[in-house]
Each structure stands twice: as C-alpha cells, then as structure tokens.
Amino acid sequence: MNRHYLATAVLAVSTLGFSACTNHEALTDQPTDNNVTVVTPQDNNSVHHPKWSYEGNTGPEYWGDVEGASACKIGKQQSPINIKEVTASSTAAPVINYAQSANIRIHDNGHTVVYTPTTEDNAIMVENERYVLKQFHYHTPSEHQIGSQSYPGEIHFVHANSEGNLAVVGIMLQIGEANDVLRVLLNGTELTTQNDDEYTANGVDLSALAPVMPTFYHYDGSLTTPPCSEQVQWFVSKKPLTLASDQFAIMSDLYEGNNRPIQPQGARKVEQLNH
Ligand SMILES: [Zn+2]
C-alpha cells in the first residue's frame, strides 16, 4: 500500500465513523472499500467524536468541511447570535409543560453532557403545536449573548414536533442561589463521568428546572454543532436560572469552552414574546 492510498483509506474510515455518530442510517449507504476495515462502534453513546471540536484545526471555523455539515460555513441562519435589537410581537411565548417527576438518562457525548428523558411526556406548546423534549445539555460559557453579555453557562432544551421540526429553548445560567433540581442531575453527572458509564436519575422535577419564564427572544436559527442544520426555532429566555458556584464547577470542570462563536444575524429579526 503506498502512502497516498493509506491516507485515502484513513480518511474514508474516519468519515464513516463520523456518519455513524450523527446518522446511523447513513452508514449503510456509504460505498465500502474492500481494503478498508470499518470498525463499528460497540456503544454509540460512548463514542467521542474526533471530527470536530472547539479548538485548533477541528475547531468551529473548520466545521463546514465536515461531511454533511456545509451549513456551518454557507448557512445564512446560523446560531448562536448576539441578541441586541428585538421587535415587539403579539405571538404568545411558548408554554413549557414538563413533568414533576421525570427519569433522565445521563451520558457524556464527548462535547457536552446529554440528559435524555425516558418518556415523551415533557413538552412545550408553540402556538398550539406540541414539541416533545428530546434532550437537554449545556454549554459553558453561554452561546447566545443578550445585549452583548455572555453568561457563565447556557442550557439547551431540544424539542421536536411530530414532523421532526426542532424548537430549542435556551436558558442562561448565572451564579447565585443553589438549584435543587440541578443538584440531582449533577450528582448523576459525576457518577456517569467518573465511571465512564450511563446513569439514570429518577424522579427529577423538570418543571422546576424550566419554570415559567416571562419573556423569550425568538428567532430562526440552527443547531450550534455540526451539522449546523437550519430551520430551528430558537426561544432564548431573558431571565436566567441561578445555580451555586460549586454546582457550576461540576459542569465547567467537565466542559469549558464548548460554545460556538457568535454568528452573523443577517436579515433576521428577533421577536420578543411575553406571557
Ligand atoms: Zn446546545
């Protein structure tokens, strides 16, 4: 095998590996090369994605070169943004309707810690349309800015309607009073990451983690990680959640700097929605 061929083979393997992480279906559609051994991950949840990161030559400015992620580079409705100018709107703010006792599976995906409810009974209503909570995760520091201000962290609650359209609620984290709901989740997070395993936190009061927020900033954006897919409705809460500094330390010790830089707003408007 000559040098050039070896490089091509390595590229093919790493590309296939990435497809397996983002879209399992895509793996079977890939052309196979008989001279290349494709290693199928044993456990998709423990796979750490090597193709992109938050720094160096796999950092945000190169995400558009990742297969299937060209929107990161050429998209015109990318997230996050700096929310500086808002338009008043008569549209109602989303109604958050989360369970008082939810079981949450916790795993570390190599870019953040992902919290996945085991049932579909946590949802938000966006103009009479139901969007089910699929997972939530965090970024430190915040990805969005409000009036050019960053926060120590931001939680993203990712929802999908029956057609698979996404609505994400972003809530800023600010150091202050301890947060009892986060305590349960962070205990589980420590167990998960220390044992490199999965852990399920039971009876979590999600309704208290995302209480009724009086004001949301709404705009059309994207996923903030590859593949940076657009047509994501964003609802960023004006009011932050508080947590104690030792609680925040658990989060930032695991992931610090997993925030995509601010993207151009372009022609998009940000609406202010009130309850
Ligand atoms: Zn996120």
> Roughly what angle, to the nearest 10 degrees, separates helices 180-195 and 245-254?
30
Between the CA of 35 and the centroid of ligand 1 the distance, in Å, is: 38
> In the beta sheet, which residues pair with residue 243?
175
Do 93 and 34 sit in the same domain of this protein?
no
Between the CA of 230 and the centroid of ligand 1 the distance, in Å, is: 14
User: For the domain that residue 120 is a member of, what is the CATH number?
Assistant: 3.10.200.10
Do 132 and 266 sit in the same domain of this protein?
yes
CA 94 to CA 63: how far, in whole Å?
Answer: 31
pLDDT (tens digit per residue) in 53-99? 999 999 999 999 999 999 999 999 999 999 999 999 999 999 999 99
pLDDT (tens digit per residue) in 89-144? 999 999 999 999 999 999 999 999 999 999 999 999 999 999 999 999 999 999 99
The catalytic position among 111, 139, 144, 156 is 111
Do 63 and 88 sit in the same domain of this protein?
no
Do 65 and 109 sit in the same domain of this protein?
no
Do 144 and 180 sit in the same domain of this protein?
yes
Query: Is 137 assigned a catalytic role?
Result: no
Do 244 and 117 sit in the same domain of this protein?
yes
Do 62 and 139 sit in the same domain of this protein?
no
Between the CA of 88 and the centroid of ligand 1 the distance, in Å, is: 26
Element (H, E) at 160: strand 153-160
Do 35 and 140 sit in the same domain of this protein?
no
Between the CA of 167 and the centroid of ligand 1 the distance, in Å, is: 12
CA atoms within 13 A on the CB side of 34: 0
CA dihedral sign of residues 75, 78, 84, 87: positive
Between the CA of 171 and the centroid of ligand 1 the distance, in Å, is: 11
Domain enclosing residue 62, as ranges: 3-72
CA 204 to CA 211: how far, in whole Å?
Answer: 14
What residues does the ion ligand 1 have nearby, CB within 5 Å? 156
Do 180 and 262 sit in the same domain of this protein?
yes
Element (H, E) at 197: none
Do 202 and 118 sit in the same domain of this protein?
yes
pTM above 0.85, yes or no: no
- The count of domains in the chain is 2
Strands 102-108 and 113-117: antiparallel
Q: Which of 40, 72, 104 is the last residue of a domain?
A: 72
Element (H, E) at 247: helix 245-254
39-59: average pLDDT: 65
Do 39 and 93 sit in the same domain of this protein?
no
Do 7 and 113 sit in the same domain of this protein?
no
Between the CA of 137 and the centroid of ligand 1 the distance, in Å, is: 6
